[in-house]
Amino acid sequence: MTFQLNKLDNLDFDEGQEIIEDYIEDAIWDFVDSPVGQEYIKTREQGGFWIHHFIEFGYMYEGYTLSTMTVSDVKTIMEYILPRKLMILNEEEVEDAIPELIAFWQYLGETHKRKTAKGIIKYLKTLENKFTAMMTDDSSGSFVKSMLMNAHKSGLDMTSEEALIKFLQGQSQNKVSSDKNLQVSQLLGKSTIPPSMKNKYDEITNLTDDFCRNYLNDEYLEFSRKLTTVLCNYQPSPLNKGKAKSWACGIIHALGMINFLADSSFEPYMKSSELYQRFGVSESTGCGKSKQIRDLLEMSRLDQEWMMPSVSESHPMSAIANIASTLKQILDWE
């Protein structure tokens, strides 16, 4: 079967998630079968690791696809996403990264006629002497990545529970609390709405209340009000710019991302495309507002503050969330 380069294009995020692994596998095999790929594998016994993570992380974190990717998009993946999200413990693991990605983009240029391939290859070549340092710099990643890399460098046996607990307790002396985390933590305790935001709050919650009553449940209604309250109190509030229906959609989508609204094994269930349609907003608007909210408040699926009780009780991610919560207490994150 011929690899369809644009298969991810025009899909909503949920649909893309369902096929991303097969898409990546097809892309790698098509590359290997190409003249460029055949030449590349002559000198390398294994490959595909960097292609896999390049495609996956670019799509999952920013929605980038191979058929539309620009030099700027590739720069974001290489300089921001991969160093922050991918944990590399050995410099040797990075040696093939740039050669593999250059070969892959040569294939995309020759086989799929990607016009941006030459510019992307030119950019990738500028990373040849510095990408290893970028990927192994423990200060460039998230806190968890940095912590684990430091543990590895210190010779910690990551399979020993006793050693891991001892290491975490030692880290508790270094309190990790960003200004953003502190502000969000303080806002979660507020239930009042600033007078200047009262009209905006009413406008948004009227929409989310109606939506939750008609299509979701009381949990979503309660949590959407809670999230709107936090956003109204955030300084400066992002709700001051943009339409109420756009924010209402973004609020429900953000909560849905954490509480598996698009997972058909759960109730309530709704695809993102249906959510956007019912609010009367475009995918880019609804998804964009959701991402803005999640980035602003650092929301994630391990965040018990935004995980609804019904989800916490039944989803296996809740076990991970409990572990994360325990680690946060040990490390004095809060």
Average pLDDT, the chain: 81
pLDDT of residue 73: 92
- Rounded Cα gap, residues 84 and 78, in angstroms: 10
Q: Are residues 66 and 194 in the same domain?
A: no
Most confident region among 219-233, 264-278, 320-334 by mean pLDDT: 219-233
Q: Is 90 exceeded by the pLDDT of residue 86?
A: no
The total number of structural domains that make up the chain: 2
pLDDT of residue 291: 86
Q: Are residues 201 and 324 in the same domain?
A: yes
Split at pLDDT 50, 70, 90, the class of 14 is confident
Stated length of the chain: 334
- What are 221-249's pLDDT values in tens digits? 999 999 999 999 998 999 999 899 999 99
Q: Is 90 exceeded by the pLDDT of residue 69?
A: yes
Two tokens, residue 218: 């009381």
Q: Does some domain include residue 166?
A: no
pTM confidence score: 0.51
Q: Does some domain include residue 260?
A: yes
Range of the domain at 26: 13-136
Q: Are residues 39 and 125 in the same domain?
A: yes
